[in-house]
Structure 1
Amino acid sequence: MSSLKPAYDVVIVGGGTAGCVLAARLTQDPGLHVLLLEAGPARLPDAVAHPPAWPSLAASEAGWGDTTVVQEASGAPVPLPRGRGLGGSSAINAMVFARGHRTGYDSWSEHGAKGWTFDDLLPYFQRTETALGAAPGRGTSGPLTVAPAQQLNEVLLACLEGAVETGHRRAHDISGGLEEGFAPVDLNIVDGRRQSAADAYLTPALDRPNLQVITGALAHRLLFDGHRCVGVEYGADGRTHTARATGEVVLTAGSIGSALILQRSGIGAENDLRRAGVEVFHALPGVGHNLHDHPRANLVYRTQRPVPTALNNHGEILGLLRSTPDAEGPDVQIIFIDIPVPNPVAPVHNGFTIGISPMRPASRGTVRITSADPYAPPAIDPRYFTEEADVRAVLSGIRTARRIAWSSALAEWGIEEVSPGLAAVDEESIADHARRYFSSYCHPVGTCMMGEDDVAVVDSSLRVHGLDGLRVADASVIPSIPSNNTNATVYAIAERAADLLRRS
């Protein structure tokens, strides 16, 4: 075993979205010495930069290759892509950059979290972005350059026209958090290339003498002096190393990774730890629990008219709507996708997809280590569609999507619904299809929930309850998933975490 010397002021564990933001922001102070540890490689496949190639990235060295346990709803496991390498999931995701509707943040205080409303987060959202053609409330000088696609796919524009034709609002800025309806969404694409968190935040900071980045470094466990976290044990180059922190250790390994590191360190629910053969160091029942994600059902259409080759991220236009008139806010997202995603009915070589996702899912699950071995795969169980409310929300979205598909705006495309197909017309058969054939929308959150009660893992300042010198600052702290593709929210959480660390 070797030890890195001297100690750092802050050790950041995880070089994904949040880790890149924190490393860049904290090292703006030249007197603060920061170490960033990332399990994945420094160099990612060239396809990362090419926006239409993102569906292939989860199976590359840029992804962890995670799969859930067999799901009760479908009777099958579900792939759950997450990024591995500098930039994390921002380097393999679909590049949608949207805040979600402001009402999606209202429930964050239910477990006692203070100061995390949409309005509290708004300055941090603004700090992340330079929003081109910005609407009121958008940022104008942040590291990320965000805007809708300049050249939208014709079939997706027809879907947007169909949404308006069938009575839905044409939004102006669907990414800003204040509107419902349908519109082109902001994307993390600049000059035809993906802009990840590593591109926007970390790369400009790499030459700072007070920042060290170590890739290929898998965190094994946290190190403590009493109840104070003083460092991290990690593996790299076939050896075990330690990194010491005189200030704080911050976990930014995401909703799966951060919970696993805590559990391997003996921090978590006692039964979960004992089952994995790990001695309990600090009982904290919420670790690894409250896992939830956006599942996505897909309507796949074949078209007689050729669909133009994708130039952007495939999903350039989305809608936020309410499943029922009395819903407290938009709880369904519909996204138009310019390729036919693989489906269980029949292959489609020319067509498009309408994806439907419950944005405020009630289903909750867990992530657990299966042994003390840091290289052992975890048991990930989001328990998709185990709450009937999620099924009802998807049914509402499917009804809306079908009306759009059969609008006159899409008539010239000569469409045929292949999956589920028009044999599925009653609610029971449509619901059965949605439960059996869905995918993850790749937005897992909640496994280190923020709050001030007994089931919360971190407090309102992101400090782990009952321990000193340890925080979590990534999607795992989100108590209840907002109505968006979650990457923009993670950027804002990390920006605020940087402020909290500077003030401590």
Structure 2
Amino acid sequence: MKARPDYDIILVGGGTAGCVLAARLTQDPDLRVLLLEAGPSTSALPSAVAEPPAWPTLGATPANWGDMTVPQGPDGSPVALPRGRGLGGSSAVNAMVFARGHRTSYDSWADLGAKGWSFDDLLPYFQRSETALGCAPGRGTNGPLTVAPAARPNAVLLACLAAAVQSGHRRAHDISGGLEEGFAPVDLNIVAGRRQSAADAYLLPALDRPGLTVVTDALADRLILKDGRCTGVRYLADGRTHTATATREVVLTAGTIGSAQLLLRSGVGPADELRPADVDVVHDLPGVGRNLHDHPRVNLVHETQVPVPPARNNHGEILGLLRSAPELTGPDLQIIFIDIPVPNPAATVARGFTIGVSPMRPVSRGTLRITSSDPTTPPVLDPGYFTAEEDVRAVLSGIAAAREIARSPALAAWRGAEVSPGPGVVDDDALGDFVRRHRTSYCHPVGTCAMGESETAVVDSELRVRGIDGLRVADASVIPAIPSGNTNATVYAIAERAADLLRR
């Protein structure tokens, strides 16, 4: 679609948040909205995007930015940090898990200065995004997203669920709703056997609205900042540089990595880091790029005595939330059952399943930095996985729970050897070393433009960038502390609420 020179609102990033905002804002026929996306349109994405079991292959396609962290852990190996590139963003390449995270994990948002962002504050926006077919209390019944557990879970995963209950864990009813602990089938963004991305649910039905302009293959170069106000965006498309002007606001919806990068390239961030990157400092805002954190995951890989049935869904259809210590106020661990042996340098398995263990409320924090003002230069990402000893201790508790589940009678017909970390790795020192060496990303980075009212916050509680008028951020980057669940459902809720804030 051909762009015009000026709009009321410019959205930078066509991922989950950008799709939600484009659809909700253009319900007002008088608003002129431009959505810029660096990647391609939905029709140009790989066909595997729509096929739920194929999502692990998408990391090797142009639908992924291809980011890697700096070396992590004692072995110094980088970690792949996939994020979607194209309309729908990461909702077009993720594992399609739709879970809010337990309500207690949002309590710290207020402690960090994010006023009015408790679980109860977000609940109407969670509900607004979804049509939850399970009809559990507190779920939405009329939203664009159709979410439900897998209609036919893999038999090995059902055996894992039965084993968890045999081990004494609670059988939850709605593990996606944010109110329960225990194990249950999780809601998925799969409709009629196909992925439903944010672009599918929100953007495509809105494309014919006269107030909406969508420009794909448009890489945002920098924000136009003048006299303390953001007035537009400079972007690259069709081999040329373009400028779009916003008469009301610019909203960054490029995600935890993309939004922070754009602020930094535009001269908004820590002055002492911008100058070495040859970026003129426009506004010294120390929190930009700080507070990067993620859910790391450690995989326990098991052989099976019999072949595992082929996957029909997303491979990880059942998960559990539990506490690493009974005195905690809420769950801080997630265990997910996966119907394939997740590849591991330490073990090659022809047939098997995986039990993934992840600290849901990690203490470890890292940074995002840039080394150049060139928008094509990758960022320097250091999530600092397991640099906090508390995260290691939490995972060791999760590994103990996972091993107990694997020994339960319900898995007897399937059970073969644990090949990673292996039965010989039992003491805390050996397991801790395994955790630090063989961690992977759960692909839930958040926090680089954290919301709050402190001097280190990047946006205030109405998502406005501190010290700059006409500029907001509305995506996972504003999350001050990661919720105890896969993050996509929370991003939908943040964007739904951002739409209300922008309408004021």
- TM-score, normalised via structure 2 length: 0.98
Q: Does 1:39 align with 2:38?
A: yes
Q: Is the 8 A contact 2:72 2:385 kept in 1?
A: yes
Does the 8 Å contact 2:69/2:380 carry over to 1? Answer: yes
Give unmatched runs, 5+ long, in structure 2.
Answer: none
Counterpart check, 1:450 vs 2:432:
no
- 1:297-336 alignment, distance < 5 Å: 297-336=298-337
Deviation at 1:6, TM superposition (A): 3.9
**CA–CA separation in structure 1 for the residues paired with 2:256 and 2:328:** 27
Partner of residue 401, structure 2:
400
Show the counterpart of 1:61: 62
Q: Any idea what SS the aligned residue of 2:35 has?
A: strand
Deviations 1:431-454 (A, max 9, x none): 111110011000000000000110
1:227-282 deviation digits (Å, cap 9, x = unpaired): 11100000111111111100100000000000000000000001110121111100
- Contact 2:73/2:437, CA 8 A, preserved across alignment: no
Paired AA for residue 22 in structure 2 = A
Of 218-227 and 65-74, deviating more is 65-74
Residue 414 of structure 1: CA displacement? 3.3
Q: Distance in 2 between matches of 1:5 and 1:16?
A: 22
5 Å-filtered alignment, 1:18-167, equals 18-42=17-41, 43-167=44-168
Contact 1:288 1:368 in 2 (8 A): yes
| Root mean square deviation of aligned Cα | 0.9
Aligned pairs for 1:111-260 (under 5 A) are 111-260=112-261
* Residues in 1 aligned to 2:360 and 2:74: alpha-carbon distance in whole angstroms: 18
Greater shift, 243-252 or 224-233, is seen at: 224-233
Shift of 1:73: 4.5
CA distance in 2, matches of 1:392, 1:414: 27
Paired residue total:
501
SS at match of 1:213: strand
Distance 2:70 2:361 in 1: 22
What are the within-5 Å matches in structure 2 for residues 358-437 of structure 1?
A: 358-437=359-438
Kindly indicate whether residue 385 of structure 2 is the aligned counterpart of residue 357 of structure 1: no
Q: Which residue of 2 aligns with 1:341?
A: 342
Deviation, structure 1 residue 113: 1.3
Unpaired runs of 5+ in structure 1?
A: none
Which string of whole-angstrom CA distances, capped at 9 and with x for unpartnered residues, describes residues 189-246 of structure 1?
Answer: 0000000000000000001111000000010100023111100000111111111100
- Determine helix, strand or coil for the equivalent of 1:247: strand
Three-state SS of the structure 2 residue aligned to 1:140 is: coil
CA distance in 2, matches of 1:347, 1:382: 27
Tell me the amino acid that sits aligned with residue 188 of structure 1.
N
CA contact (8 A) 2:107 2:118 kept: yes
Note the C-alpha offset of 1:427: 1.1
Aligned to 1:12: 11
Q: Is the 8 A contact 2:406 2:415 kept in 1?
A: no
Q: Is the 8 A contact 2:3 2:215 kept in 1?
A: no
Q: Do 2:3 and 2:213's aligned partners in 1 also have CA atoms closer than 8 Å?
A: no
Cα deviation digits, residues 107-149 of structure 1 (max 9, x gap)? 0012321100000000000000000021010000000000000
CA deviation after TM superposition for structure 1 residue 74, in Å = 4.0
Q: State the partner residue of 2:473.
A: 472
Q: Percent identity?
A: 74
* Mapped partners of 2:443, 2:171: distance in 1: 27
2:177 & 2:66 partners in 1: Cα distance?
Answer: 32
Once the 2 structures are TM-superposed, how far is the Cα of residue 7 of structure 1 from its aligned partner?
0.8
Cα drift, residue 345 of structure 1: 2.3
Residue 298 of structure 1 aligns to a residue whose secondary structure is strand
1:277 aligns to 2:265 (yes or no): no
Hey, which bits of structure 1, 4+ residues long, moved more than 4 A? none
The equivalent residue for 2:461 is 460
- Contact residue 173 and residue 185 of structure 1 kept, 8 A: yes
